């Protein structure tokens, strides 16, 4: 992928160990919090993935990053990061290339919306270059108190559950089965969107779907849902907008 610029930000693929270390440092800050002190968020999947960095060209600081694990098709889904937490055998029947998106984060001191636009523009370039037909991964809520996100989970239950043919089953030892727990609840849309993570909101705007349960991840201090976006199902207007950003 050629570097993509917007204003004083640039998105590019990581190049070497130092770039990876910078991404891991930002991930540590975003997922562990500033009070945890300096550190690196790293795991074995880092060496299997491509990493995208968004940098502030004025300061050289990494302000956003994510990683992408390419898969040739559904047969590879069981080697994904998400497969540690979700039983994904139904997706083994998916035909076509896939990309697993992981560790997506934006520096808390850089709320500029251009950063997210650039990150998604870069991702659009990669999706087009690889011919990916499914973008998937774990979308996280901060903290492990499901009561803080009741309206958001009710909204997911109401209109965004995965088609049954792809629906992940429970695998993790601690889960919140929100589709069952909130079966009779109608969501307050305004409150739901206020507590919906930005990454998940973007997935939903692209026609994305989620698992019917959230995994309680105490190590990362998150609740997360498995999320999928079938590229061919992205609304035409949204696809055009993404490609306009990707065009630079």
Return the domain boundaries, the chain: 4-246
Please give the average per-residue pLDDT across 80-98, as a whole number.
97
194 has a pLDDT exceeding 80: yes
The architecture that CATH gives domain 4-246 is 3-Layer(aba) Sandwich (3.40)
Q: Find out whether 127 and 243 touch, Cβ atoms under 8 Å.
A: no
Residue 43 has a pLDDT of: 96
- pTM value? 0.95
Q: Beta 4-6 vs 9-13: how paired, if at all?
A: antiparallel
> What tokens does 153 get?
């989970």
What is the per-residue pLDDT across 13-53, written as a single tens digit (0 to 9) for each? 999 999 999 999 999 999 988 777 889 999 999 999 999 99
The 10 Å Cβ neighbour count of residue 77 is 23
Mean pLDDT of 111-132: 95
Predicted local confidence at residue 122, as pLDDT:
97
pLDDT of 59 > 80? The answer is yes
């Amino acid at each position: 992928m050629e570097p993509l610029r917007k204003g004083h930000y640039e998105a590019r693929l990581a190049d070497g160990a130092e770039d990876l270390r910078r991404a891991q440092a930002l991930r540590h800050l975003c997922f562990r919090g500033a009070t945890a002190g300096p550190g690196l968020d790293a795991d074995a999947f880092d060496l299997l993935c491509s990493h995208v960095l968004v940098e502030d060209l004025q300061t050289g600081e990494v302000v956003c990053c994510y990683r992408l694990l390419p898969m040739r098709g559904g047969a590879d889904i069981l080697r994904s990061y998400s497969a540690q937490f979700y039983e994904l055998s139904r997706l083994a029947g998916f035909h076509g290339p896939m990309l697993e998106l992981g560790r997506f984060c934006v520096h808390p001191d850089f709320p500029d919306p251009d950063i997210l636009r650039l990150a998604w523009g870069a991702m659009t370039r990669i999706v087009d270059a690889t011919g990916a037909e499914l973008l998937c991964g774990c979308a996280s809520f901060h903290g492990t108190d499901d009561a803080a996100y009741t309206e958001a989970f009710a909204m997911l239950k109401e209109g965004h559950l995965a088609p049954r043919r792809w629906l992940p089953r429970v695998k993790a030892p601690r889960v919140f089965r929100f589709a069952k727990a909130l079966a009779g609840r109608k969501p307050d849309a305004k409150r739901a969107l206020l507590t919906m993570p930005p990454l998940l909101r973007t997935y939903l705007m692209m026609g994305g779907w989620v698992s019917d349960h959230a995994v309680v991840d105490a190590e990362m201090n998150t609740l997360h849902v498995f999320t999928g976006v079938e590229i061919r199902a992205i609304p035409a207007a949204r696809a055009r907008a993404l490609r306009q950003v990707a065009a630079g």
